[in-house]
């Protein structure tokens, strides 16, 4: 019991702590590099257990996990992606459309499986705890489950790609998702040949990571100060 208490109450050892940060900093939104070999069900169960242990406001646990292996169904989802991408293209700045067309933005059919993580908005409708002033907290809690799944997958050497270019209504129809359930994340999941050193969009010149020191404020929005913290943040992120 003492060992359990010490584990809960104290910081991780150096190796364990570095492993957590390594998973965070080396996590990638994988669109390519997927291998087709299957994921062992025991490993997938561990990832889902990690997702299921995400924080949830009011302990509502609003998430469900739809595992999608059927190739025909995934091809249908990819058709939805292609249609949504065609709709999105005209809204991209004209000078960036050529780059947009070149970007690999999904691995729906190449990955070992797909996973749709949903939010059941009726699961805690009778409990206002944490939701009275912010009814979106069930959706935010589900996003925490997505992040848990993603980081655990990185620790297992498994890639995850979030496909956000999808029409939610069409996806719900295809997967038989009830009206009161929201598809929060559609994920491509599988073993990969490599994890890129840089995020794909950064490597392709779409955007760069913002300096952390520019995002740290003191006491109020745009409040100045915290110079020592900003210097430490610069030193840390400069190594990543």
Cα–Cα distance, 200 to 28 (Å, whole number):
8
pLDDT at 6 over 80: no
Q: Where do runs of H (alpha helix) occur along the chain?
A: 2-9, 14-26, 41-52, 71-88, 97-102, 137-155, 168-175, 200-203, 227-237
Q: 161 by DSSP, 3-state: which?
A: strand
Q: pLDDT digits over 93-119, tens only?
A: 999 989 889 888 899 999 999 999 999
Look over the chain and give the mean of its residue pLDDT values, rounded to a whole number: 92
Place 83 in a pLDDT band, splitting at 50, 70 and 90.
very high
Q: How far lies 21's CA from each of 16, 18, 73, 215, 228, in Å?
A: 9, 5, 36, 20, 21
pLDDT at 5 over 50: no
Q: CB of 146 within 8 A of CB of 183?
A: no
Q: CB of 85 within 8 A of CB of 164?
A: no
pLDDT at 152 over 50: yes
What does the pLDDT read at residue 8?
A: 60
What does the pLDDT read at residue 103?
A: 86
pLDDT at 207 over 70: yes
pLDDT at 237 over 80: no
DSSP line for 184-195: EEEEEEEEBS--
Cα–Cα distance, 189 to 111 (Å, whole number):
6
Q: pLDDT digits over 20-31, tens only?
A: 999 999 999 999
Q: Which of 44-58, 73-87, 137-151, 203-217 has the lowest average pLDDT?
A: 203-217
What does the pLDDT read at residue 7?
A: 56
pTM above threshold 0.75:
yes
Cα–Cα distance, 171 to 47 (Å, whole number):
23
Where does 28-206 sit in CATH, by number?
3.40.109.10
Q: Give the mean pLDDT of 64-89.
A: 97
Q: Which of 58-72, 76-90, 159-173, 197-211 has the lowest average pLDDT?
A: 197-211
Q: pLDDT digits over 223-232, tens only?
A: 999 999 999 9
Q: pLDDT digits over 114-148, tens only?
A: 999 999 999 987 777 877 888 899 999 999 999 99
Domain boundaries in the chain?
A: 28-206, 210-240
Cα–Cα distance, 44 to 190 (Å, whole number):
10
191 or 205: which carries more pLDDT confidence? 191
């Amino acid at each position: 019991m003492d060992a359990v208490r010490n584990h809960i109450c104290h910081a991780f050892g150096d190796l364990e702590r570095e492993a957590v940060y390594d998973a965070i900093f080396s996590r990638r939104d994988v669109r390519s590099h997927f291998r087709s070999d299957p994921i062992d069900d025991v490993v997938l169960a561990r990832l889902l257990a990690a997702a299921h242990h995400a924080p949830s406001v009011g302990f509502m646990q609003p998430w469900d996990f739809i595992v999608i292996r059927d190739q025909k169904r995934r091809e249908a989802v990819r058709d939805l992606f292609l249609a949504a991408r065609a709709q999105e293209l005209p809204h991209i700045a004209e000078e960036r459309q050529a780059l947009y067309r070149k970007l690999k933005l999904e691995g729906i059919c190449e990955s070992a499986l797909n996973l749709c993580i949903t939010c059941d908005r009726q699961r805690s409708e009778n409990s206002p705890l944490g939701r009275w002033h912010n009814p979106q907290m069930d959706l935010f809690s589900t996003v925490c489950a997505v992040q848990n799944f993603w980081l655990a997958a990185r620790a297992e050497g498994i890639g995850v790609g979030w496909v956000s270019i999808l029409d939610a209504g069409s996806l719900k129809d295809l997967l038989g998702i009830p009206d009161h359930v929201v598809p929060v994340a559609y994920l491509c999941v599988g073993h990969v040949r490599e994890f890129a050193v840089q995020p794909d969009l950064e490597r392709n010149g779409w955007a760069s990571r913002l300096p952390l020191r520019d995002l740290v404020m003191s006491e109020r929005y745009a409040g100045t100060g915290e110079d020592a913290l900003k210097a430490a943040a610069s030193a840390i992120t400069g190594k990543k």
